[in-house]
Structure 1
Amino acid sequence: MAVDKKEKAQVHKLALRGSSKTVAEFFEYSINTILFQRGVYPAEDFTPIKKYGLNMLVSSDDQVKAYIKKIISQLNKWMIGGKISRLVVVITSKETGEYIERWQFDVQLLGKSSKNRSSKKAPDKENATPQETASPEPEPEKTEAQIQEEIQAIFRQITASVTFLPVLDGNCTFNVLVYADADSDVPIEWGDSDAKEIKDGEKVQLRSFSTSNHKVDTMVSYRLAD
């Protein structure tokens, strides 16, 4: 029985949309988890919620919720268009302006030749040199349970990271940077940003997870205590 090409394209489009939603949701909970685990905001500003079979904590602060919601809404659109290559959460000291921690999530669109993008996007955004790269082959089909297990492992690592990351002294704030293709439509209120790299920082590679369409690698870099 022949399968109509149009039908196959529609199935792929639905799969890509579902995968993009999964990755965007992962980013949303990652931002919240980092803010909670690293004490950027008081523990009482977070509300427990069940997700990925885990007890997650999300911010109940209206300003923080609105900021994250705006990012994730735009991010999901770019993900579906295959325009995202990286999301970064940077924790900065309010007193000194120094970048203390940098959580980096690299996104690969599987099974398609892509550009390793220049960027332009996010409440802050970053620039990378465009380079032609070959994306990895598509992952074998995974069940929702298998994907959830991989995501669980990452969140457990983020939670366990408090055992090796330096204690954050003083008041801190955070920014989210998104690397997207140079031709992406960027909200007018979003601006360019440098990469906010941590000078001479330590780097720790964490776990990754993948769907049939995307792979996400996680890494944290931090400034060594004086």
Structure 2
Amino acid sequence: MAMAGLDNTLKEPAAVFAALAQILYSAEDSAEVYNAICSAAVELIPGCDHASLMLRRGKTNVTVAASDEIAAYADELERATGEGPCIDALETDLPQLESDLRTPNQWPEFAQKAVSETPIRGSMGFRLMVDRRKFGALNLFSDTPGAFSKDVADQAVVLTSFASVAVTALSRGEDSDSLRRGLASNREIGQAVGLLMALHRVSEDKAIDTLIRTSQEMNVKVADLARKVIVDHRSTLD
């Protein structure tokens, strides 16, 4: 299946992105958008207890949002040790996944500090692309060993790809109408397919099948969260 055929075949992912967009439309500035992405990650991704968003500013990786102090501190540990899921996601095309940091893994120093100084036991990192540049990464952390799996990562890929579009719009100073047009173009769906191909090392056809199945599973949950956010936002205006 060619990427050009996405418009006609991926209705489920499009529905998920449309619901996620409703969460961001209630935000008033970039800080609220970044925090909404982290909050959505904790609400939507199974086993995710903490989330952070790290963006590259020149040669520095800056945490622009975190769901809580634990996620923010985990980012500090990554910068201090020079290793971790977010840093690796920024440098490579592969999603980063370690389900149990207590076992030997690719980030020994970060893992040792995270396990000894925080409740974090599992982590994932996913790059954000803006105009084909590695612009940032979404960091997800679990307090439960083994909670993160490739199936869970599939759902994180969907959210990450949506976040890439939102961050792109913000980096260009675009408004919500521009974001709507970006979502309609299915750029983020193409990014999701690419991440799933890298994560599972499968063909484009297989990745598209995974994206459709994952989106079907997420759709109701995402829509419910979007409605809740909108209701909460409106109540603050009354």
- Common fold by TM > 0.5: no
TM range (shorter): under 0.3
| Higher percent of residues as helix | 2
| Higher percent of residues as strand | 1
Q: TM-score of the superposition, structure 2-length normalised?
A: 0.25
Rg larger in structure:
1
